[in-house]
């Protein structure tokens, strides 16, 4: 790998000691966006996971976070994704030696094959914003969670609402990098208060915590610097670093939210 020492240094993030133990080459080979293991570890600061729990990892991509949850917390995971097939993810899970407790599933978010009330916890990292912003989605999604169980997500989001035009530093290209702001994707970025209202208004869950991830933009920048130092990672996306650096956490970060489905 290009610049292995630099990649290792950047991925050894003291804020995320569990994630920092994982092989940088494995992370770059399986990444599909800002370091999913950091997002996962951040989520577990506010969402308890106990050994033996049945966990749905929704939109798991290449299943890195499913491996992480199984290894670090002893939970059993259903690694659900759409773009990545179950057969592809099974290979990753076998290689990581967790295929006895992480089960790959390919299913679309609106056509999930699970029994009502099956999961003790549902997690979703850098994925829920793709399908979960409609007013009715949580009513469907939360039925797979048992009463008293929790749903936790971390999504890229907004620090403040954008009033009027998208700010210039997010809307314009930087050198060879296209604009950060792709409306097809960033149109689903919202603030923490937006997400809290979005779930609380359903009356189906109690939002226990919902806030911007501390220093989220700095982690995003560090991740992107690591990815580019390592040759661009699996995604090969152009770098986001110039836009994130110019933004300095004024607009873009991560929202972390956990809600509990009340007991009857
Ligand atoms: C940006 S990737 C993040 C993947 C992974 N969580 C990670 O952080 O590495 C978004 C993931 O959401 C999943 N996704 C998007 N739309 C979906 C849908 N309608 N149903 C199920 N999964 C979906 C994709 O398959 C993709 O793997």
Ligand 1 centre distance from Cα of residue 264 (Å): 31
Confidence label for 70 from pLDDT (cuts 50, 70 and 90): very high
Which residue's alpha carbon is nearest to atom 16 within ligand 1?
Answer: 130
Q: Are 90 and 110 in contact (CB under 8 A)?
A: no
Average pLDDT, the chain: 97
Confidence label for 264 from pLDDT (cuts 50, 70 and 90): confident
Closest CA to 98 of 114, 119, 77, 117: 77
Other beta carbons less than 10 A from residue 95's beta carbon: 11
Give the pLDDT confidence score for residue 55 in this predicted structure.
99
pLDDT at position 236 over 90: no
Give the pLDDT confidence score for residue 237 in this predicted structure.
85
pLDDT at position 43 over 90: yes
How many angstroms separate the most distant Cα atoms in the chain?
A: 56
Q: Looking at the chain, how many residues does it have?
A: 264
Give the pLDDT confidence score for residue 187 in this predicted structure.
95
> With the C-alpha atoms ordered 35, 81, 152, 150, is the resulting torsion angle positive or negative?
negative
pLDDT at position 233 over 90: no
Helices in the chain by DSSP H: which ranges? 4-11, 24-30, 36-44, 64-73, 86-95, 137-141, 168-171, 183-186, 192-200, 216-229, 241-247
With a Cβ cut-off of 6 Å, ligand 1 is lined by 31-33, 36, 59-61, 64, 81-84, 108-109, 125-127, 130-131
Distance CA 126, CA 211 (A): 15
Q: Is the pTM of this model over 0.85?
A: yes
Give, for ligand 1, the residue of 130, 131, 182, 234 to mutate: max count of ligand atoms closer than 8 Å to Cβ.
Answer: 130
Q: Strand 54-58 to strand 76-81: parallel, antiparallel, or no bridges (unpaired)?
A: parallel
Region 73-88 average pLDDT:
98
Q: Strand 252-260 to strand 206-212: parallel, antiparallel, or no bridges (unpaired)?
A: antiparallel
Give the pLDDT confidence score for residue 238 in this predicted structure.
87
For the ranges 38-52, 128-142, 168-182, 214-228, the lowest mean pLDDT is seen at: 168-182
pLDDT at position 1 over 80: no
The Cα-based distances of 93 to 14, 73, 87, 219 in angstroms read 26, 16, 10, 26
Ligand 1 centre distance from Cα of residue 219 (Å): 20
Other beta carbons less than 10 A from residue 230's beta carbon: 24
Share of the chain above pLDDT 90, in %: 94
Note the CATH number of domain 4-260.
Answer: 3.40.50.150
Instruction: Report the phi/psi class of residue 33: left, alpha or beta, with left for phi > 0 and alpha for psi in -120 to 50.
Output: left
Confidence label for 74 from pLDDT (cuts 50, 70 and 90): very high
Give the pLDDT confidence score for residue 40 in this predicted structure.
98
Region 139-149 average pLDDT:
98
pLDDT at position 140 over 90: yes
pLDDT at position 2 over 80: no
Distance CA 230, CA 3 (A): 6
């Amino acid at each position: 790998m290009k610049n292995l020492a630099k990649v290792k240094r950047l991925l050894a993030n003291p804020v995320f000691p569990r994630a920092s133990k994982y092989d940088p080459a494995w992370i770059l080979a399986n990444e599909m966006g800002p370091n999913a293991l950091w997002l996962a570890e951040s989520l577990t600061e506010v969402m308890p996971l106990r050994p033996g729990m049945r966990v749905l990892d929704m939109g798991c991509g290449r299943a890195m976070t499913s491996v992480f949850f199984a290894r670090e917390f002893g939970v059993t995971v259903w690694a659900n994704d759409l773009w990545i097939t179950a057969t592809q993810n099974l290979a990753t899970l076998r290689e990581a030696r967790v295929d006895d407790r992480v089960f790959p599933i390919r299913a679309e978010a609106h056509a999930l094959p699970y029994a009502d009330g099956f999961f003790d916890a549902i997690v979703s990292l850098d994925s829920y914003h793709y399908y979960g912003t409609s007013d009715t989605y949580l009513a469907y999604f939360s039925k797979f969670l048992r009463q008293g169980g929790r749903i936790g997500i971390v999504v890229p989001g907004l620090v403040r609402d954008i009033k009027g035009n998208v700010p210039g530093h997010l809307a314009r290209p930087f050198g060879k990098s296209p604009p950060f702001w792709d409306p097809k994707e960033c149109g689903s970025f919202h603030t923490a208060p937006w997400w809290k209202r979005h779930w609380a208004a359903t009356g189906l869950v109690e939002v226990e915590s919902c806030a911007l991830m501390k220093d989220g933009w700095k982690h995003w920048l560090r991740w992107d610097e690591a990815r580019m130092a390592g040759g661009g990672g699996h995604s090969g996306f152009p770098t986001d670093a110039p836009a994130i650096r110019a933004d300095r956490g004024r607009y873009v970060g991560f929202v972390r939210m956990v809600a509990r489905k009340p007991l009857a």
